[in-house]
Amino acid sequence: MTKRSMKSWMKWRRLVSEQARSGQSVKAFCREHGLCRPYFFVWKKRLEEATPTKFLEVQVAGHGPSTPGDSSVEIRLRNGRSLMVRPGFDTEHVRALLAVVEAVE
C-alpha cells in the first residue's frame, strides 16, 4: 500500500468513526464537513469489508454495587487484564488499545 493510499484509509477511518460517534445523520455530517455523501458510503463499505469479524465468547457476570445509570462494560482478557469502556467510546481507539495490551506478554 502506498503512503498516499494509507493516508486515505486513515482519513476515512477517522471520518467514518467520527460520524458514528457524532449522532448526526450521514447527510448532515457530510454537509458539515464538505464531503460527498456517495463517496462517504463507498469508503464506509470499503472499511467495513476490510475489518475482519471476530466472535468472542461473552459471559454475563453479576455486578457488585454500581452507580445508578452506570452502563460501563468491563472486558476481561485471557491474560487476566481487563478494560473498562463507557458508552460513546471510540471503537478504533479500543481496537488499537487491545492490540497493544494483547501483544504484551
pLDDT in tens, the chain (105 residues): 787 888 888 999 899 989 988 889 999 999 999 999 999 999 999 988 887 766 666 666 665 555 666 678 887 776 677 778 888 888 888 877 777 766 654
End-to-end CA distance of the chain: 30
pTM for the model stands at: 0.50
CB of 17 within 8 A of CB of 90?
A: yes
Q: What is the C-alpha separation between 100 and 81, in angstroms, rounded?
A: 12
Q: Which three cell numbers stand for residue 105?
A: 506478554
